[in-house]
Amino acid sequence: MGATLLPSMAFGILPRYVIGSPGADCRGVSGSRIGGHLVCYKTASRRKKPSSKYQIVCKSGSRIFSSMDDSSDTITDLGDGRDVFSSDSSETLGIEEVELIETRKALSNAQARQKAIQKERDQLLEELARSKAKQQEYVATILHDKELAIKELEAAKSLFHQKLQESVEERFSLESKLVLAKQDAVELAVQVEKFAEVAFQQATSHILEDAQLRVSAAETSAAEAAYQIEKQIQEATEGTILSIVEQSKDAIEKALDVAEKAGDHVAKAVSAFTDGLDQVDEIVFVQSENIKLNRVVTDLEYQLLVLRSEVDRLKLELENVHTQIHASEARASNAEKALLEFQESNSKRTLEKEEEIMSLMEKMRKDASERKKVATKSFKAELQSIKAAIKAAKETTHSRDNAYLRRCEALQRSLKTSEDASKMWRQRANLAESLLLKESPIDEVSKDSVHVINGGRIDLLSDDDSKKWKLLSDGPRREIPQWRARRIHTIRPKFPPKKVDVAEALTSKFRTLDLPKPNEVWSIAQEKLKEGDTLIEHVIEKETIEKKRKALERALQRKTIQWQRTPEQTKLEPGTGTGREIVFQAFNWESWRRQWYLDLAPKAADLSQSGITAVWLPPPTQSVAPQGYMPSDLYNLNSAYGSVEELKHCIEEMHSHDLLALGDVVLNHRCAHKQSPNGVWNIFGGKLSWGPEAIVCDDPNFQGRGNPSSGDIFHAAPNIDHSQEFVRKDIKEWLNWLRNNIGYDGWRLDFVRGFSGSFVKEYIEASNPAFAIGEYWDSLGYEHGDLCYNQDAHRQRIVNWINATGGTSSAFDVTTKGILHSALHNQYWRLIDPQGKPTGVMGWWPSRAVTFLENHDTGSTQAHWPFPRDKLAQGYAYILTHPGTPVIFYDHFYDFGIRDIITELIEARRRAGIHCRSTVKIFHANNEGYVAQIGDTLVMKLGHFDWNPSKENNLDGSWQKFVDKGSDYQLWSRQ
């Protein structure tokens, strides 16, 4: 702090100063603020008024009090250094000096107290700063602990949700397994009943006779067995009785001997007793022997009782045998009666079945003949219409050609007229040149003739006042720019040279106009096509007609080839394809994270060159889940994979490379847009605004008011009731919209276990797809954790669904996939069924079996049922060389490094002419390998089995190996 300046005193006694703290108050005294401190002072009363002779001389001055200096507090006199008071007032000055000393002491004490207060204040500030720092640390620690607690809470929450989800999924899987087990049990019972019925229906007369013989033989054998049993029982009884009698005699004899010996001992004992008392021991011995004898007797009696009970038991068994014989005789008689009744009923049923079969055969023959007639008639009519269309197209083409010829003739005529006009203008130019040069005078007669020749225009050239004459004589008014000159020279012939004056123009012999030559005159060949021109319209129309003509010719050729095919090769229903499709699944579970349609469209050319014929695209509909399998608004095709415009572009790219585009449609369930008043999500929005009446009533989660479901329940979304007429109508319109407006060629149907195959048949017949695949996926048969060899029940369920669709749709061969998982691990015997056919749907209905190794559910990031990665090459070698329609997964083709292997196998399938109905002849299937002939021109081997065509006796022809992958697979082709 700075020095404190005290005010100057004019005269009188120096006031007493009291320095207080900044907050102090001066009451009853005068004071002022000095450097932030209050300085209080009292004015001493004058003791007496100074006389005139004691004049006090007061000079102006200032005194400075230092309050913050560490040195001793002093008052600095800022005056001129002379005494304030006169020498005469020495007494007054002494008093004032004493007061000044006291004031200085008070001031030093105040300053000391101020320093102490300042130090205390600094300590308090430091403690406050430390407390604030500790408070901030505490706050940071609390916040950190809070964040950790929140994170732990969130982690626990997420873990709880995960565990909850896992438990829900496990419960769902267990429920689904239970439902599948119940369904399997029911289907097994149905199959057993069917097999029993078939067995009874297929019984013949010789089987019945054999049954009669077996019954009579059974009766004879039963009688013989009864006799033998009775004889054995009698012999055993007699032998037992004899043995018992003999044992009894032996026991009695032994007992008598013992008794005699005992009597002798008793006699001896008595004599010995009489002789002396030392015979007591002998008596004891005799008693013990007697006790042993009693035990032997009791044992013999017990054995006798046991033998008696055994005899009684044998008698009872004999009686039971007699009763069984009587019962068997009764059963035999009943069986004979039942057999007679069965023969009669079976004969009646056989006659009825034969009559029904004959009537059905007759009806089928009639229907076949009628269909053949109708097909022949329709084919002839279609052929006539195609011929008429071709004839009309040819006539139209001929008329167009005639029109082009007439146009060419007209152009030639116009060319000729232009040439004549050019000649006439050339003559006129020569005449005008002669006139300008004044080579010959013009008389009256010639002048009139010139006027007549030039149409009266020559006077314009000969008039002196004419602007044209001036233009010809003087030339243009200013020079023509270069760009304009170039343009003039490109569109007009060259002008005559510019004339300087009239004399030069009259005397120079300038050249005539450079007219184009006849071969340079405009023609059709040199004319470029322009929009809006008549010529380009004719050309486009001609090209369109030519395209239509070629399309009609191709259609006629296809119809002719199709008519010449065998019944097995003919496509009878929509959705079954041509039989030579190779499908490519063009997405995986994570494809939605990218602009998939834009990424996939450029791959169309590559897929087509690799041999792919159809591309399975992801679900196009807006979905609650980004993968597309929880659809909401069916008509909104802006999905996570891209916009509807990008989808159309992708399909157009597929079509431009002759690839079919298969749409993944989800028809079993649909996610609602709104909640009902009960808080249940069962109100649908968008174009198809359905209500709870569109949901099956046995869906446990969404309170549907429709009919019961015709299949399994999908618990994650409302299950649609396909028995409702309005639902089927809307779905058929939507499928046709996808076909006609978007461009899809076929369908992959999701979760078809949820509704009946009859509805699928209706949808396919309404939308007429080129190819259709149904996803009927359920669990295979396992026993103690191992895959069962017999999987007929599993493939029968898939075949039943295909049959429910009327054969209009194919289905994924899940059975073959499951068997390949185990078969390729040195269990190749699983690849042949007891009838010698391939296992899976491929062995029963190959034209409707769509074989695959993996898809977005079994593989990708879901990996629910991944195929063994080290066996992928063998798996594709199997499905690409066998009948059925194979499917190639996107990840395998582009990410797993086996693209060349797949492409080579596709080419081998094409070269061998293998299709979905090719025959399979299996030669070997054991632990070491698998060998089969597919069609007529291909033989393949899997595994390390030592085999080649020369070692096979049942294989005709000469064969050459063209693919050799060692122990994985080998392929041979017929020479």
Catalytic residues: 750, 775
905/942 Cα distance (integer angstroms):
14
Distance CA 100, CA 17 (A): 9
Determine the residue type at 923: F
Q: Which residue has the tokens 């996926």?
A: 777
Q: Which residues pair with 583 in a beta bridge?
A: 614, 887
Residue 329 burial (CB < 10 Å; 0-12/13-18/19+)?
middle
Phi, psi of 357 (to 5 degrees): -65, -40
Distance between CA atoms of 380 and 646, rounded to whole angstroms?
43
Calpha distance 763→743 (Å, rounded): 17
Distance, in Å, from the CA atom of 446 to the CA atom of 434, rounded to the nearest integer, reads 13
Distance CA 394, CA 50 (A): 154
Nearest 5°: CA angle at 522, between 519 and 524?
Answer: 105
| Closest by CA position to 922, among listed 852, 860, 831, 857 | 831
- Which of 858, 875, 883, 786 lies closest to 824 in space, CA to CA? 875
For 464-481, give one letter per residue: b (16+ CB within 10 A) or e: eeeeebeebbebeeeeee
Q: How far is it between the farthest Cα atoms of the chain?
A: 219
Between CA 764 and CA 758 the distance in angstroms is 10
Q: Which amino acid is at 521?
A: V
CA distance 12 to 56: 9
Cα-Cα-Cα-Cα dihedral of 344, 346, 352, 356, to 10°? -170
- Count the helices and strands in the chain (H runs, E runs): 20, 23
Q: Which pairs from 138-145 meet CB under 8 Å and 24+ separation? A: none
Beta bridge partners of 749: 665, 774
Alpha carbons 257 and 254: distance in angstroms, whole number: 5
Rounded to 5°, the CA angle 909-910-915 comes to 70
Helix (H), strand (E), coil (C) string for 840-854: CHHHHCHHHEEECCC
DSSP SS3 for 681? strand
Nearest 5 degrees, angle CA 899-CA 904-CA 908?
150
Q: Is 895 helix (H, G, I), strand (E, B) or coil?
A: coil
Identify the DSSP state of 520.
G
Token readout for 929 is: 């390998």
DSSP string across 853-894: S--TTTSTTT-SSPPPGGGHHHHHHHHTSSSSEEEEEHHHHH
Burial class (CB in 10 A: 0-12, 13-18, 19+), 699: buried
Closest CA to 620 of 743, 708, 535, 801: 743
Helix (H) or strand (E) holding 607: helix 604-610
CA distance 504 to 498: 10
Q: What does the alpha-carbon distance between residue 673 and residue 683 come to, in Å, rounded to a whole number?
A: 6
* Residue 961: strand pairing partners: 972
* Distance in angstroms (rounded) separating the CA atoms of residues 652 and 641: 16
Helix (H, G, I), strand (E, B) or coil at 302: helix
Rg, the chain, Cα only: 61
